[in-house]
Amino acid sequence: MIPRTLFSPDHELFRESVRTFLEKEAVPFHAQWEKQGYIDRDLWRKAGEAGMLCSHLPDTYGGLDADFLYSAVVIEEIGRLGLTGIGFSLHSDIVAPYILHYGSEALKHKYLPKLISGEMVTAIAMTEPGAGSDLQGVKTTAVLDGDEYVINGSKTFITNGYLADLVIVVAKTDPKAGAKGTSLFLVEADTPGFAKGKRLEKVGMKAQDTSELFFQDVRVPKENILGQAGMGFAYLMQELPQERLTVAIGALSSAEAALAWTLEYTRERKAFGKAIADFQNTRFKLAEMATEIQVGRVFVDQCMALHLEGELDVPTAVMAKYWATDLQCKVLDECVQLHGGYGFMWEYPIARAWADARVQRIYAGTNEIMKEIIARSL
């Protein structure tokens, strides 16, 4: 196997602390969280105390000013343990950068320390009942009225939506201007007119709270806009490479975990008088998966290296998301097959990981959209 050279000894020490934290504070409770449909709020505060949230933020706001690899460590360890209910990455690596890069100093000082501590849980509300990967189709509006914007509309499939205290809302400030009429707003969950709908019952990722959000004449100060009015779509395009990279990182980690579980299972499980791992078909399947995961790992690690230098471009990030999630689904399906009937039992981690993996080819932009973006870049 090709050794990973991306992470320093300090990163690996952090990995050990993250792994210890998750094995103590999350693994024993994840099954219960799957039943209730969301993780316990205390985990956010404990993660904040452990330095696992928004570690990349500057110390000006209480962060560790760490590089992106610390975020990658958290994503990888969550993926390795199959803890798909934990929405830390969306909070730390997607929402926080929007506030850091486009928020006023007043907004940054008001909110970022609370994101770091876990006092506030965040979400980003892009998807609507009639607008998914096509963000230009957003119908939610924000109309300037004096010193406030009035927001009306609805959102769906919002990760962390049920627990969220603060939401970035994608809305149209000029519905006639297409992409150039889109803006981003910070909305606190207790704002009058803002309502959370039911937690959505999903095929997988059952412990991750995913909700509908509704906005009826929700008034927010005009200072709550991120950046400039009409620049929201450009900001989204600017930040999506990191979002898609985080999806790729998690997908590879999940695939690696699935292979490890399957190696252990096939070596222990007997059929026709010998271990399943001794059959040629099993050995060939394991060899194929190990090779494809290794190829994916080298590519995604290189994408992380480019991202550290600020050189990860949109098409390459898109390739990583598309390739890694397709590979993840392929590997998980093969691993379920090698587990036989037990692979379809919810008590086995491979079954839950298989159900959890499927949506990754859909969110952060469907893989069909990823291919379209790649094709346009050729």
Known catalytic membership, residue 243? yes
- Which residue has tokens 């007043």? 106
CA angle 45, 49, 54 (to 5 degrees): 85
User: Which helix (H) or strand (E) is 124 found in, with range?
Assistant: strand 122-125
Q: How many C-beta atoms lie closer than 10 Å to residue 324's C-beta?
A: 29
Q: Which tokens in the block code for residue 280?
A: 């040629």
Q: Specify whether the CB–CB gap between 77 and 52 falls below 8 A.
A: no
CA 303 to chain centre: 17
- Which residue has tokens 């490479």? 241
Q: CA-CA distance, 282 to 269, in Å (whole number)? A: 12
Cβ neighbors of 74 (< 8 A, separation 6 or more) are 18, 52, 55, 88, 89, 92
Closest of 254, 223, 276 to residue 103, by C-alpha = 223
Using DSSP's 3-state secondary structure scheme, residue 194 falls into: strand
**Which one of the listed residues 76, 212, 239, 243 is annotated catalytic?**
243
Q: Which tokens in the block code for residue 288?
A: 């194929």
User: Which helix (H) or strand (E) is 211 found in, with range?
Assistant: strand 210-221
In the chain, how many H helices and how many E strands? 12, 9
CA distances from 375 to 311, 312, 314, 318 (A): 20, 17, 12, 11
Q: Specify whether the CB–CB gap between 290 and 259 falls below 8 A.
A: yes
Q: CA-CA distance, 108 to 106, in Å (whole number)? A: 6
Residues tagged active-site: 243
